Amino acid sequence: MIEIQHMGKGCRIHNDVVIEHPDKLVIGDNVHIHRGAFIDAVGSVTIGAGAVIGLGVVVARDVPPRAIVVVPDFKIIGYRDTEKYDLLNTTGQYGGVGGGRLAGDQT
């Protein structure tokens, strides 16, 4: 049985996301998981705050905070701009809209 141990605020999980096999799943704040993503890991998986999981990505290990992950092969193509993300998050202006990317994000 899958246990979602924690799901942070402001998360967006699209249709057709499949979650199988992790014993424990921790999803940080403002995580954006695109359609067709597949979370399949043995043990526990943590998706760090602010991470963006692209269309069809297979997540089989932890995802660092603010990482932008795409296919093929779980490739991290960049990280969200830390200063801008923190500012919008602390002022309550971040809502995870617009594809989960913020202006000024690093790729």
C-beta of residue 25 within 8 angstroms of C-beta of residue 39: yes
CATH numbers and ranges of domains, the chain: 3-90 (2.160.10)
List the one residue out of 43, 40, 38 whose CA is nearest residue 18: 38
Q: State residue 83 phi and psi, 5-degree precision.
A: -60, -50
pLDDT band at 95 (very low <50, low <70, confident <90, very high): low
pLDDT tens digits, one per residue of 29-82:
999 999 999 998 888 899 999 999 999 999 999 999 999 999 877 899 999 888
What is the distance between the alpha carbons of residues 12 and 14, in angstroms, rounded to a whole number? 6
Q: What is the pTM of this model?
A: 0.80
pLDDT at residue 76, rounded to an integer? 93
